[in-house]
Amino acid sequence: MTRIQANNNAAVTPRPEAQQANDPVAQNPQRHTDGFEGMRKMGGGVTQGTAEPNVPGSGRVPSVPASVHAQMVELSDPSTLKDMYDLRRRIRALDRLMVAHKDPRGMFTSLYRVITNGAVDSVEKGIYQDNEWGAKLTHEFGRRYLKNLHGDLTGGEVTGAWKSYYKQAKDPSVSLERVAGMGANVHLVADLPRALAAIDSPKERRADFMLFGDVLLDVYPEMVASAKDGHGADMDPLFDLFFVGDAIDHVAGQGTATRFVYQGIRRKAWDASQALQDFRAPAAQAEVDISWRGFERILAGLDGTNFI
């Protein structure tokens, strides 16, 4: 695919040096921080010698110390999300916490950490015609993920698609590979059209949108490694669903995959986003719901036949 040259007039304005000086990620992008360094320096935490209470788990989601749960709640709070850099910091921290405590709800978080890193990097490199739009999409896309995680952690609002994801994450009879696939399904099929519509994406941004999606293809090997290293899940067979299509043919018959390959998913998300911005919104939302539920059935079939 021909890459669009950056428009120097549309480049993202660098953050002020004073802000970067206080941001550990800006000083060292490779460093994974959880954003609670200041709290620890002030002596936050449990007094030595006292037993810290646990927040009970559910299904295969383990119980975690109350302080860890509090960190996840604060990190996932969408109302305090500042920008795409703040999103990157939070996703890195959430991934670290969920991997450390073997929380299966973090299956998608491990994938999304890689995606977010790639998205932020692409905006910083100025590869889009409208890089401010790219920054807004990265922020809004991530905000929707955080909002639903926050809802699950606090008993708050969670969309129907994400409810299904968290239900599967807690169910020990569902493979971790299927859980990760469901997260990707919800994020791409359900959240992406809404995120595009929320930032009023005009038809002129379609080329930027398709280029934005190439970021996911570029970081595919890192996503596979992240799931393996963090949760011991083998994502190679399942990623055929998005990148090759053999997995779908295994369940639904030869040729079915052509409707579900990654490029098709992105184009469908774009078309839905345009319809969600006008009088076609109710029908477009119904189509989005049908699509993610269709993928959910395919994933269940793959899991049931031990293909994943």
Asked if residue 213 belongs to a domain, the reply is yes
Rounded CA gap, 251 and 64, in Å?
Answer: 38
Output b/e per residue, 181-220; b: 16+ Cβ within 10 A: bbbbbbbbbbbbbbbbbbbebeeebeebbebbbbbbeebb
Range of the domain at 104: 63-304
Dump pLDDT digits (tens) for 22-38.
444 444 444 444 444 44
CA distance 82 to 88: 11
Rg (CA), the chain: 20
pTM comes to 0.78
Q: Check: CB of residue 303 under 8 Å from CB of residue 297.
A: no
* Residue 193 within any structural domain of the chain: yes
Q: Encode burial over 28-38: b for 16+ CB neighbours within 10 A, e otherwise.
A: eeeeebbbbee
In a domain, 233, yes or no: yes
- Degrees (nearest 5) of the Cα angle 62, 65, 70? 105
Nearest to 183 by CA among 263, 258, 95, 117: 95
pLDDT, tens digit (0-9, with 9 covering 90-100), for 248-294: 445 554 434 433 467 688 889 999 999 999 999 999 999 999 999 99
* Confidence at 103, pLDDT banded by 50, 70, 90: very high
What whole-number distance in Å separates Cα of residue 12 and Cα of residue 34?
25
Q: What is the pLDDT of residues 150-203, one digit of tens each?
A: 999 999 999 999 999 999 999 999 999 999 999 999 999 999 999 999 999 999
Two tokens at 44? 């936050």
C-alpha to C-alpha distance for 193 and 100, rounded to whole angstroms:
32
Average per-residue pLDDT for the chain: 83
User: In 10 A of CB 124, how many CB atoms?
Assistant: 17
Q: What is the DSSP letter of 61?
A: B
Does residue 15 lie in a domain region?
no
Give the end-to-end CA distance of the chain in Å, rounded to a whole number.
Answer: 30
pLDDT at 240: 62
Going by the DSSP 8-state scheme, the letter that residue 35 receives in this structure is S
- Specify whether the CB–CB gap between 249 and 256 falls below 8 A: yes
Sign of the dihedral defined by the CA atoms of residues 98, 104, 109, 114, in that order:
positive
d(CA 207, CA 212): 9
In the numeric block, which tokens belong to residue 158?
Answer: 């969670």
Residue 143 lies in a domain: yes
Whether 20 is covered by a domain: the verdict is no
Q: Is residue 216 part of a domain?
A: yes
Above pLDDT 90, what percent of the chain?
Answer: 65
In 3D space, the residue among 123, 44, 126, 138 whose CA is nearest the CA of residue 86 turns out to be 138
Between 265 and 57, the more confident residue is 57
Q: How many domains does the chain fold into?
A: 1
Whether 199 maps to a domain, the answer reads: yes
The pLDDT, as a whole number, for residue 32 is: 43
Q: Tell me the pLDDT tens digit for each residue of 70-88.
A: 999 999 999 999 999 999 9
Pairing of strands 64-65, 54-55: antiparallel
Is pLDDT larger for residue 2 or for residue 107?
107
Name the least confident of 37-46, 157-166, 198-207, 239-248: 37-46
